[in-house]
């Protein structure tokens, strides 16, 4: 067993011991909202937004992007489980600001080891073989934080399976301060209609 798995299971044991009443929580989110945000390790959505277990759906991927899969999740979230408001949260210093598809595909074609970022950009210090499969993935990186929030709010707003009654809020999160700030353009794009 790896050290990480030991640590995870031992932390889990402590959580189980103090689990208490949480075992009786119902499936639908009690506070009837959902948050879509980045997988970034520095983000703890429960702490950032004041969630207790049972409160809200949390969807996370690289960038917090409104991918088809995020939309699949949001549709299940409102249609079967009754969420009524959605937050899209991207953040400062996001890894998605540091590359684009061409760079990523190039790195993957050289090796499947972890690349290093240098002042000259990403460098693949690993050995091959790599894989050209990166060509078939849109990595959904972005170049402007607020714009990516607005784009994603707009994409969700326009999806034919998303009801107009659901407001979609767009926020940035500052990893230096922990602060959520609403994006003005996204506010217009995400209004209930």
* Residues contributing to the annotated binding site for Zn(2+): 38, 40, 91, 94
Q: From CA 20, how far away is CA 108, in angstroms rounded?
A: 46
Residues 131-190 that bind a second copy (CB under 8 A): 131, 133-134, 137-140, 159-163, 167, 169, 175-180
| Torsion, CA 117, CA 121, CA 122, CA 127, rounded to 10 | -110
The pair of three-digit structure tokens given for residue 4, joined into one six-digit string: 């990480």
The number of residues that bind a second copy (CB under 8 A) is 97
Are the beta carbons of 165 and 79 closer than 8 angstroms?
no
* Residue closer to a second copy (CB basis): 77 or 148: 77
Residues 12-51 that bind a second copy (CB under 8 A): 12, 14-16, 19, 22-23, 25, 27-34, 39-44, 46-51
Q: Is 119 in the site for a second copy (CB under 8 A)?
A: no
Q: Which of 87, 151, 168, 183 binds a second copy (CB under 8 A)?
A: 87
Count CA atoms closer than 13 A to 54's CA, side-chain side.
8
């Amino acid at each position: 067993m790896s050290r990480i798995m030991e640590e995870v299971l031992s932390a889990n044991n402590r959580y189980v011991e103090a689990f208490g009443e949480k075992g009786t929580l119902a499936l639908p989110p009690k506070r009837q909202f959902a948050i879509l945000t980045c997988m970034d390790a520095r983000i703890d959505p429960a702490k950032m937004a004041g969630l207790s277990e049972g409160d809200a759906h949390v969807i996370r991927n690289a960038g917090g992007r409104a991918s088809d899969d995020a939309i699949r999740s949001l549709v299940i979230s409102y249609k079967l489980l009754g969420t009524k408001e959605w937050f899209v949260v991207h953040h400062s210093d996001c890894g998605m600001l540091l590359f684009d598809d061409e760079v990523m595909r190039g790195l993957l074609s050289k090796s499947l080891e972890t690349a290093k970022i240098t002042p000259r950009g990403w460098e693949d210090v690993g050995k091959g073989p790599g894989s050209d499969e990166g060509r078939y993935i849109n990595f959904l990186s972005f170049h402007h934080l607020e714009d990516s929030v607005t784009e994603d709010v707009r994409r969700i707003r326009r999806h034919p399976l998303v009801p107009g009654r659901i407001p979609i809020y767009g926020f940035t999160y500052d990893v230096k301060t922990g602060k959520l700030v609403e994006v003005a353009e996204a506010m217009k794009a995400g209004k209930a209609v």
